[in-house]
Amino acid sequence: MGNPKSAQSKAPKVHPRKATPAPKVCCGTARDIPLSEPDSEELAAVFAALADPVRLRLLSLLSSSPNGEVCACDLVTPVGKSQPTVSHHLKVLHDAGLVSREKRGVWVWYKVETAKLKQLSETLQ
Amino acid sequence: MGNPKSAQSKAPKVHPRKATPAPKVCCGTARDIPLSEPDSEELAAVFAALADPVRLRLLSLLSSSPNGEVCACDLVTPVGKSQPTVSHHLKVLHDAGLVSREKRGVWVWYKVETAKLKQLSETLQ
DNA sequence: CCAGCGTATTGATAGACATCAATACGTACT
DNA sequence: AGTACGTATTGATGTCTATCAATACGCTGG
């Protein structure tokens, strides 16, 4: 009895090693949540737009175009999906602010919103 | 008859304006697809891991920690979800290579894989 | 060895989404 | 006006996923 451990036995049962050097160990720290719930939902929506292989290939096709823009009609064949499906994906990208659309007569041209991508890129690191 | 239009009438019906300055207008260009299907699926999987507000807030909590790492037990309360749900999300992040785990006794500490985030950030721009 | 606690897994359920066929809408050309 | 074509929308369907309750796994202290 009376060993050194007894003095420690009344200490709170928190992770003993590598606890933060700050006074309060861990649980219940008043650290304000860095990313608010609305912000996280907004960000998640943008990432959700990128979370599809077809949409990534659409973006890839747009950015690799010499003009930086591609007619919607030229996007159906490369991605190997039906026209309604491609139209749906382009709408998702547009709603997320990742691409812009410009109608010229019958055709619709899509362009990557590089500013949005750059902003997103900075958010990551 | 014999108006200038007749000479053009036999031309292929492609978007007439702002067509690429290159000889071949657009359709059927032999442009190699910049992002292959397997690559796009792999990338999409990573973005899918980011496409959830809870996971974004988990990442945010990790990166704002002074140690750069947080015990799993300290992540349940801030995000306001059940323990199994948080564990599930952490697994998704881990499977995507976005966080690393280290078990210390009973506790598991999670850390952001900054290299992975940096790589992803560069992919975007 | 047993009890307690942190963590992960399983099972079930409700909601979201990708896909395509069919259809509607708009524009250009005759 | 009417046909043809590019694009968007609607409806239906199968798959995926976020969530939690219940449970199992693993480590620690007695």
pLDDT value of position A13: 58
Pairwise CA distance, residues B22 & A64, whole Å? 14
Reported confidence tier of residue A15, pLDDT bands at 50, 70, 90? low
DSSP run (H or E) holding B49: helix B37-50
pLDDT higher at A35 or A121: A121
Which of A24, A42, A47 is the best residue to mutate to test the B interface, defined by the most B CB atoms within 10 Å of its own CB?
Answer: A47
Q: Is A63 on the interface with B (CB under 8 A)?
A: yes
| pLDDT at A34 (0 to 100) | 79
Please indicate whether, in this complex, the C-beta atoms of A61 and B34 are within 8 angstroms of each other: yes
Indicate which of B14, B50, B122 best probes the interface with A, i.e. most A CBs within 10 Å of its own CB: B50
Q: Does B24 touch chain A (CB under 8 A)?
A: no
pLDDT (tens digit, 9 = 90+) per residue, B39-87?
Answer: 999 999 999 999 999 999 999 999 999 989 999 999 999 999 999 999 9
Considering only CA atoms, which of B45, B47, B13 is closest in space to residue B27? B13
Tell me the β-bridge partners of A70. Answer: A110
By DSSP bridging, strand A99-104 and strand A107-112 are: antiparallel
**pTM of the shown model:** 0.82
- pLDDT tens digits, residue range A27-54? 333 334 578 888 999 999 999 999 999 9
Name every residue whose Cβ is closer than 8 Å to that of residue B109 and which is 6 or more positions away in sequence: A15, A18, B69, B70, B71, B72, B101, B102, B103
Residues B59/B99, Cβ–Cβ less than 8 Å: yes
Task: With beta carbons under 8 A apart, name residues in chain B contacting A24.
Answer: none
Cβ of B100 near strand C (under 7 Å)? The reply is no
Using the Cβ of A60 and the Cβ atoms of chain B, whether some distance falls under 8 Å is answered with yes
Give the contacts of A47 (CB within 8 A, at least 6 positions apart).
B47, B48, B50, B51, B56
